[in-house]
């Protein structure tokens, strides 16, 4: 009897692992950068060139000026922005069935928002909470089996896919609590400008972390556009699979910090 129970348990565990592995394999294949088509390459390259021009004139100089700030200040700003992104990550943990992570991230958010002075200090990390991993609606759609569609380059926002762009729209239509209490609703404590400032700060923080990485990539790439596309799609694939792998020389910041 005991042998049957052990055998049944092992068999059930093996089947469960096989199903999970099979699901991951399908997600991996569907989001393989080599399988994602660049359906509008001509338009994408034009927008990419426009974005690069804006980056040279505006974003990179601002990012370099930002890096002049003392490291503790930049670290605090980065922590605050990461803490704020939890209002998107937590519902997506739930949508992906990651209830434990949703609980952990909720705890992180409450602790860092209160004891950590609006997230400026990552108190939760010092208390031993699990490492924070961002999630978004594009990732949730991918986990639910939605394919990426064609690769897109959005004005100012940069690399994306049809699915990830749709995920960003879902986020703005009601998925981002921070957006809801600032832009969508009139409150006594926050204004539209607070939301806009946080999004701009997120983009500047991301750009400042990756100045050398982008410079080296542009310097060494035969086709800068193709290299950025490959880098973005690889990063998205790993984020969808919750992989901790590092993409080439990039900082581990999430590309979608700029979009969401």
22 inside domain: no
- The answer to whether position 46 is within a domain reads yes
pTM of model > 0.75: yes
pLDDT of amino acid 10: 39
* Packing angle of the helix pair 71-84, 99-114 (nearest 10 deg): 130
How far from 235 is each of 9, 31, 58, 248, 257, CA to CA, in Å? 36, 10, 25, 10, 13
What is the pLDDT confidence band of residue 244, given thresholds at 50, 70 and 90? low
Give residues with Cβ within 8 angstroms of 41, minimum separation 6.
Answer: none
Dihedral (CA of 182, 183, 185, 187) sign: positive
User: What's the domain range around 76?
Assistant: 35-257
pLDDT at 112: 96
- Please answer whether residues 159 and 229 qualify as being in contact, where contact means their C-beta atoms are separated by less than 8 angstroms: yes
pLDDT digits (tens, 9 = 90+) for 68-91: 999 999 999 999 999 999 999 999
Measured in degrees and rounded to the nearest 5, phi and psi for residue 227 equal -70, -45
Identify whether 18 is part of a domain. no
- Residue 51 within any structural domain of the chain: yes
**Is there a domain that residue 212 lies in?**
yes
**Structural domain total, the chain:** 1
Q: How far apart are CA 11 and CA 9, in angstroms?
A: 5
Average pLDDT over residues 201-209: 92
pLDDT of res. 98 = 94
Residue 141 lies in a domain: yes
């Amino acid at each position: 009897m005991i042998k049957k129970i052990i055998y049944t348990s092992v068999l059930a565990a093996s089947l469960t692992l096989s199903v999970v592995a099979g699901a991951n394999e399908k997600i991996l294949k569907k989001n393989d950068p080599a399988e994602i088509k660049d359906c509008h390459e001509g338009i994408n390259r034009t927008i990419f060139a426009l974005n690069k021009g804006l980056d040279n004139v505006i974003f990179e100089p601002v990012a370099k000026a930002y890096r002049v700030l003392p490291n503790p200040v930049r670290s605090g700003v980065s922590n605050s922005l990461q803490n704020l992104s939890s209002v998107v990550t937590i519902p997506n943990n739930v949508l992906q069935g990651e209830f434990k992570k949703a609980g952990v991230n909720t705890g992180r958010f409450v602790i860092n928002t209160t004891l950590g002075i609006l997230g400026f200090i990552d108190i939760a990390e010092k208390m031993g909470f699990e490492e924070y991993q961002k999630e978004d609606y594009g990732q949730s759609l991918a986990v639910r089996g939605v394919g990426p569609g064609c690769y897109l380059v959005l004005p100012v926002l940069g690399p994306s896919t049809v699915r990830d762009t749709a995920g960003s729209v879902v986020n703005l239509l009601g998925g981002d609590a921070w957006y809801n209490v600032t832009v969508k609703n009139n409150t006594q404590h926050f204004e539209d400008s607070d939301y806009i400032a946080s999004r701009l700060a997120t983009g500047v923080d991301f750009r400042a972390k990756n100045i050398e990485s982008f410079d080296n990539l542009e310097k060494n790439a035969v086709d800068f556009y193709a290299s950025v596309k490959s880098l973005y799609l690889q990063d998205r694939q790993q984020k969808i699979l919750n992989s901790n792998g590092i993409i080439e020389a990039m900082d581990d910041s999430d590309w979608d910090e700029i979009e969401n």
